[in-house]
């Protein structure tokens, strides 16, 4: 019985994406006994994705509405019927120890609802740039080493939602990602979870590899694309917005306005 769904959002499938997707799927295939895959994508990609892996149990969830990252993930969560789910970005991959290391902790920490791996960030050339999620283990950083708390999050935003393992029921109760919050939707999500008493733990093993600033990625757009580029005041605005909005389970209208 598979009790984990990996949700992979996809909005297009050009040649570059095919290479990335193949790599991402290979990383999931190593857990095919325990994990099923939900690819959330526009209907025009469905046919091409149907037989994409022989090993994996795959569900294609068609989304012809908003195909931004958050909306796709939310749809995946909504359709998820397993105890746990994880989020995989198309250009990322799970490391071999992802499942084993998280399982080691699930067995012991039964009251934890979110397990984050240490994420190894690499640049588009494949070179190591940094770790993410690891700071939860720094001495004196959080109230309890290894766990992320709301107070710390108010000062420190750098946590990665992809690659984490989430208890589906708990996330459904607490609300999913708010797509109307640009840039800081992940931050708001963690603030909301910790504010509501959800225990979030970092497993001190590198379980996930994330490509930072890949050309045409959402965050690359925010930083480099003239039409989507966020200015300093905008970044600040979205951080402040996340801090105001995490009290609310569902998204509310957010009007961008620099005072």
Write out the residues near other proteins by the rule CB under 8 A.
95-97, 100-101, 104-105, 108, 118, 128, 130-131, 134-135, 137-139, 141, 145-146, 204-206
In angstroms, give the least distance from the CB of 21 to other proteins: 25
In angstroms, give the least distance from the CB of 121 to other proteins: 10
**CB nearer to other proteins: pick between 89 and 134:** 134
In angstroms, give the least distance from the CB of 116 to other proteins: 13
Q: Which two tokens stand for residue 88?
A: 């995989």
**CB nearer to other proteins: pick between 176 and 209:** 209
In angstroms, give the least distance from the CB of 144 to other proteins: 12
Alpha helices (H) in 130-231, listed in sequence order: 150-153, 168-174, 185-195, 218-224
Tell me how far apart the alpha carbons of residues 60 and 95 are, in angstroms, rounded to a whole number.
24
Phi, psi of 178 (to 5 degrees): -100, 105
DSSP 141: T
**CB nearer to other proteins: pick between 73 and 148:** 148
CA 98 to chain centre: 14
DSSP 155: T
Residue 181's nearest CA partner among 20, 71, 107 is 71
Residue 126's nearest CA partner among 10, 206, 22, 210 is 210
Question: How do 57-62 and 84-87 pair as beta strands?
Answer: unpaired
Q: Which two tokens stand for residue 119?
A: 């994420």
In angstroms, give the least distance from the CB of 200 to other proteins: 16
**CB nearer to other proteins: pick between 90 and 200:** 200
**CB nearer to other proteins: pick between 17 and 137:** 137
């Amino acid at each position: 019985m598979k009790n984990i769904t990996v949700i992979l959002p996809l909005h297009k499938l050009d040649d570059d994406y095919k290479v990335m997707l193949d790599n991402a799927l290979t990383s999931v295939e190593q857990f095919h006994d325990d994990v099923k895959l939900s690819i959330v994508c526009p209907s025009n990609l469905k046919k091409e994705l149907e037989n994409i892996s022989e090993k994996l149990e795959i569900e294609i969830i068609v989304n012809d509405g908003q195909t931004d990252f958050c909306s796709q993930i939310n749809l995946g969560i909504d359709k998820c019927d397993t105890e746990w789910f994880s989020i995989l970005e198309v250009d990322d991959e799970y490391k071999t120890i992802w499942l084993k290391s998280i399982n080691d902790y699930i067995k012991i920490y039964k009251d934890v609802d979110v397990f984050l791996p240490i994420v190894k960030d690499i640049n588009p050339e494949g070179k190591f740039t940094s770790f993410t999620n690891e700071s939860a283990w720094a001495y004196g950083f959080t109230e309890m080493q290894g766990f992320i708390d709301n107070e710390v999050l108010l000062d420190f935003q750098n946590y990665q939602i992809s690659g984490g393992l989430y208890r589906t029921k708990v996330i459904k109760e607490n609300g999913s990602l708010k797509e109307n919050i640009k840039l800081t939707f992940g931050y708001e999500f963690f603030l909301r979870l910790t504010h509501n008493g959800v225990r979030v733990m970092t497993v001190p093993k590198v379980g996930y590899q994330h490509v930072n600033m890949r050309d045409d990625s959402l965050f690359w757009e925010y930083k480099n694309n003239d039409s989507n580029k966020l200015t300093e005041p905008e970044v600040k605005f979205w951080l402040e917005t996340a801090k105001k909005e995490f009290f609310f389970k569902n998204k509310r209208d957010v009007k961008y306005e620099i005072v």
